[in-house]
Each structure stands twice: as structure tokens, then as C-alpha cells.
Amino acid sequence: MKRLLHKLLSQKPSMTPTPETPTPPTGRPEPTGRPEASGRPGAHGRPSEPLPEPSVILENGWHVAHFFYRFRRDVMDGPLSPALQQQLHDALHPAESDRPARLATYWISGHRADFAVMVMDPDPAKVDGVHQSIMAPGIGRYVEPAWSFVSMSEVSEYVPSIEEFKRRLVTGGEDADSPAVAAKVAAYERRLPMMNEQRLRPEFPDWPSACFYPMNKSRVVGANWFTEPFSRRNAMMAEHAQSGMAFAGKVSQLISVGVGVDDWEWMVTLWGRNPEYLKEIVYKMRFDQASAKYAEFGPFYVGYKAGAEDIIKHCKLN
């Protein structure tokens, strides 16, 4: 009996693993075929969206550039020659085939620059092409860049959806089921596509004055915009937008994004029906918390709409 028991105990177990206990030679469980929740795209078995074709054309919005220049009077012996004046004219008023979708020129007040060009187009080569024409041999010898800003147009994440617009009305004390709220929501729904188009591909107003400045949102301790929850940032931007609405018809604006493409995060362009409105809107909006606590501003430039001939005349170079 003892020999039989010893024989049974010394037999090797079967090497065929059961389905419930798959144990590979490495000691690690075999993959089950189920994707793990790794956080990577497609990790949950969903097919990832196909990537777009490589392109310099933005999926949303246009390329934007602001260029500021000074004339190099230190190398001038007198007025610009007729040929150089014509070359500057051709650079600021390009032929149809080279002309960007949007282009405006201004003489600039103050000593930091003499004139500025604002350009927008789907193609960045057309945008930068205006700058290259200004700096080309000939007139380029008598012009130097003073400052520039490269950015892109966008629809901000703080633009309220139709549902959010209604919530703001109700939060402000209006009756959610009232005809007045229904009418306001319907009007906003009609306006929203046009407003977003103006944010992405704006028509430049034919107004005499404009103000340009870059800005960042603060990251200092106690006033770090990027650590605030979206709900709080959204509320502050709603307050900021409400202040701007008081200047409808007096001031038009474009906020373009420099994140990832220039040193500042945003570029603000304000067009004024009168330059006094530019001063008033900037002053009023400084008291909004989004500005008072969280905004950092770069250099301000104020310009007055002018073509090449007006710029040359204003700068006493004819």
C-alpha cells in the first residue's frame, strides 16, 4: 500500500492548463484580447478617426499677421523716389492674383512704428508674401521691421452655445418658459452662425482708427488663469463680453490666437468708428475680473487707416 501511495504522489501532473488558468512560461497572464484602459486613443476598441491630409490650410479659421515698420531715414538722402513710392504702393496694394483675402494698412501714431499692415488669408504664404514684398530689394533698403505678430482666427471656447445662452438668461433672473426668453434664444440662434463667421473670416470695417495689442492670461500664484475651472473662466468671460456689448456699432474686434505660433497668447485688434471709443472700451473692460486679475498686456499700437500714398505723405517722404 505504501509503495502504491508513493507511486501516485510521484506522478507528474498534466501539463495541459485548464481554460481558467492560462499560465505562460513568463509567469504573466496571457492577453485576453480585451483592450486595456490605458488612456491612449483607441485603447477602448473604438476605431480612431482618419487623420487629415498634411496641409498648411487651417481646418477652421485663417492665418493672421500684423506687421509694423519704420522708415530708415538715416539712410535717406531725400524723399523716396517715384520708383520706390510705386514699389511700396504695389506691396501694400498687391495684384489680384497675389492679394490676400483681407488686407488693411495704417499709419501708426508714436515713435515705435511708421505704418502697419494687417493681413488674413487661408494660405500663410499669401499672408507672409505681403511682408516679403515690403522688404524686397529696393524699398526694403529704406524700411525696417519694428514688430510683428503671427496668429490664427478661431471661435473661442467661451462663445456660448444656444443652450448656454439660455442658461445665462435664466441665471440672470428671466423665466425659462417665457415668450421673451424664447424670442431672445431664437434671435441668438439666427445670429450665431454669422457671428462665428465674423470671428473666423471677418470683414474689416471701413472705420478710420484701429488699436492693436497682444496679451496673455496670468499664471502667477493666486491668479493663475489656467488652474481655474472652466465654469469660473466661462463666467468671467461672459462678464467681459457683456462689457464689450455696450460698444456695439462703435467698436468691432478680432481676437486671434498666437498660442504655439508667437510669443504672446492672443492678439487683440479693435477697430473704432472714432478713436475715442478705443480708449473707452479698453478702460471699461479693465475693471472686469478677467482683465483686472488675470490679463497681461503687451505693447499698444494705434493706427489710422491709410493707403500707400497717405502713409508716404504722412511720413513726409514724398
Q: How many CA atoms lie within 13 A of 14 on its CB side?
A: 3
Residue 144 in grid coordinates:
525696417
Is 213 annotated in the active site? Answer: yes
User: What one-letter code names the amino acid at 59?
Assistant: E
**Residue 286: C-alpha distances to residues 51, 243, 268, 275 (Å):** 42, 10, 14, 17
**Residue 89: C-alpha distances to residues 120, 145, 312 (Å):** 19, 17, 10
User: What one-letter code names the amino acid at 159?
Assistant: V
Q: How many CA atoms lie within 13 A of 58 on its CB side?
A: 19
Contacts of residue 270, defined as CB under 8 A and 6 or more positions apart, other chains included, come to: 210, 211, 212, 251, 252, 253, 278, 281, 282
- CB-count exposure of residue 67 (10 Å: 0-12, 13-18, 19+): buried
Residue 123 in grid coordinates:
494660405
Residue 107 in grid coordinates:
499709419
Residue 18 in grid coordinates:
485548464
Phi, psi of 115, deg, nearest 5: -155, 165
Contacts of residue 33, defined as CB under 8 A and 6 or more positions apart, other chains included, come to: none
Residue 118 in grid coordinates:
494687417
Looking at the DSSP bridge assignments, the partners of residue 121 are 63
- Residue in 213, 277, 294, 304 annotated catalytic: 213
Give the integer Cα–Cα distance in Å for 193 and 50: 27
- Just list the catalytic residues: 213
